[in-house]
Structure formats: C-alpha cells, structure tokens
Amino acid sequence: MTVRAHKSRQVALDRCLVLLEEAQMRGQSRIDGQLGTALRKNLERAGVIADHRLEGRRIDRVLDDIFALQAQLLGQEPEDSRHHNGA
C-alpha cells in the first residue's frame, strides 16, 4: 500500500471516529439511518466494506470496530475502546 493510500484510509477512519463521537455527544447510543450512511461512505473510502447493517448497532461497539481497523492499519494489536470511553 502506498503512503498516500495508507494516509487516505487513516483519514477516512478518523472521520468515522469523529462522526461517532459527535453522535455520542448528542446523546445518541445507536446508529440511525443518517449516521449509518455517513459511516458507510467513509468506510468505503477506507477500503472497508461493512459486512452487515450499521443501523441499530450500538455506537460503542462500532467504535470498538473502528479502533480495531485503525490498529490493523497501523500493524498494532487492537485495543478495546472501553479503555478510552470509560465503559
């Protein structure tokens, strides 16, 4: 993977994290249709195809998935986001 492609994937995953964290700040606990669409678009930019429906999933679980994808991209062991968000 080229440096540019790697950086592009990382930016798309970072955008997913921002979208999810903003939704949590609004008090949202599950992914709705609008958020699901935005996440899918960014996941596609990151080269990831969502293998199941995002709508209805708990945001904290999707955060775990995004953190794992980032760790994989960086060649690290995935870390459970519960350490990040105090759950």
Write down the residue that tokens 């599950």 correspond to.
Answer: 30
The pLDDT value given to residue 87: 47
Lowest mean pLDDT among 16-20, 42-46, 48-52, 69-73: 48-52
Closest CA to 82 of 74, 73, 68, 69: 68
What pLDDT, on a 0 to 100 scale, did the predictor assign at position 80? 55
Provide the CB-side half-sphere exposure for 18 (13 A, CA): 8
Instruction: In the chain, count H helices and then E strands.
Output: 4, 0
The radius of gyration computed from the CA coordinates of the chain, to the nearest angstrom, equals 13
Q: Which amino acid is at 20?
A: L
Mean pLDDT over each residue of the chain, to the nearest integer = 86
